[in-house]
Structure 1
Amino acid sequence: MGPLPPFQVTVDTKGWLCVLDLRLALARHGPMLALRLAEELRVCLVPRLWSILDNTTHYRLQPRDLLADPFADARTPMPDPASLDQWERARLDLGLPVLRLYWAGERIDESFMPKEVDSQVIQRFERFGLDLEQRLLGTAPDLEPAVPLLGGALDATALAAAMSRYRPLILTLAEPSDEAPALCRLLAACGIDCRKVDSEQSRPLRRQLTPLLARSGALELCWSGLDLAVVHLVAPRAFLSEALDAADPDLETDLGSSSGEGDRFDDVWQDASAFWYRLP
């Protein structure tokens, strides 16, 4: 009997599903980051980006409307208005499917999602997003969810929850300091605990993700000052709601959501939590 072949472990990196937070999508080098990462993993864009691109003239004339963010402080990185031109060209001149980017629209037929994602994802995204918004307004009634960066963070969180079965990660901008990202401060305001994972605990995941940055050319963007943070959302009720949708899309229960419509659970965000770490 000859020697056994060396043992190898192959990680299906294309299996990673990433939701790009609007703050990162609109950052300096944000569009280039998305396009490069799409070479190595599945990148989903949030609907709020489309509403901005449909109104670029307004945001060019009123950039403060784009930059407003109640969860930012003086050190929080802000969007780069020049990124609007890059996204507009990518959408109109090149075509996002050609660039291998995915996005969620208002309806499933207006969306371009990974083929394994079920057809109920947009319905879940909408009701999860509404419940999350109502949670936020319950603790901070003066906030305006229509503010682009705030709405984009809500979109990213709800979309990640709607795809819980596929273990998506949310990629956002990290703070220059060691403080939690603005997205995590939003989650805290929604009653969702968002804790930092130390370098030792996050090492196994960073060892898988960092090579993707290197192979795609995204690592150079980090060297150029693009600080990244990864957020993992744990929402047990959202996960079970998705599993029920997959098992029987026509199944109905007597439990009502906070919007008053039939739903799997009355509060999919109950017991939800999140964890974040810097990358690389």
Structure 2
Amino acid sequence: MAKKRSEKLPNDVYEAELFRLQSELVKMQEWVKATGQRIIVIFEGRDAAGKGGAIKRITEYLSPRIVRVAALPAPSSREATEWYFQRYVAHLPAAGEVVLFDRSWYNRAGVERVMGFCTPAQYNLFMRQAPIFEDMLINDGIMLRKYWFSVSEAEQLRRFRSRQNDPVRRWKLSPMDIESVNRWEDYSRAKDDMFIHTDTTTSPWYVVESDLKKNARINMIHHLLSTIPYEDVPHEEVVLPKEPRNYDNYRRIPKELEKEVPNFALRLMGDPEKDL
């Protein structure tokens, strides 16, 4: 009997496949570095749709010097007077770099439109300019990938509630999140309109169904890798010594002269003789 498409991945299968994909991401990183490629990956979607979790798994084993995350705050008063795309241009990749946009210039088509943070004229201008801007990036040799993380209304609300009393995730819950619940239909219309204007042949949107977070991460990373023509890059083998060297002319200073961090871990293990 065929498995349902909505079936959640078992943890052992998820962990094994995630590590395999992360190993491929390392290969892709080395290819990008060696060939001077430039890649942009845009992560958009509703609040609590799983964008941050996917980004975290992608970057876990990668070098921040090569693969960096751009998560821009609200524009300053000066930036608000600039050409809309201007502050994003500063974060575009140079040769041998990958930039992951945790939200992007598409803020204007989503939250800014729904919440009234931009005028209708500014919104309409964005919709005309966005495909042109992206074509300019692509024509210059940048590989651009755009992912929309889709989550159901019930699952979004469940995730918001789980954050409410979680001391390490409570910061993720804001009044803006409540508005995203109250304005669900407005955000749906905004997303549909955005796709009509910006889901182009040269720069398509890829939708990630993310009610099942682990499935969504695997699906998204697998798809991203499938669209990048990376190859194994030969690297120089590092030969380590069999044992540490002996230094005849070096003597370490006495440890009691150093300010050592207290061994709090030992106390956690219940050592009554360790006085911190």
* TM-score, reference length from structure 1: 0.27
Q: Which protein has the larger Cα radius of gyration, Structure 1 or Structure 2?
A: 2
* TM-score, reference length from structure 2: 0.27
User: Relative CO higher for 1 or 2, CA cutoff 8 Å, sep ≥ 6?
Assistant: 2
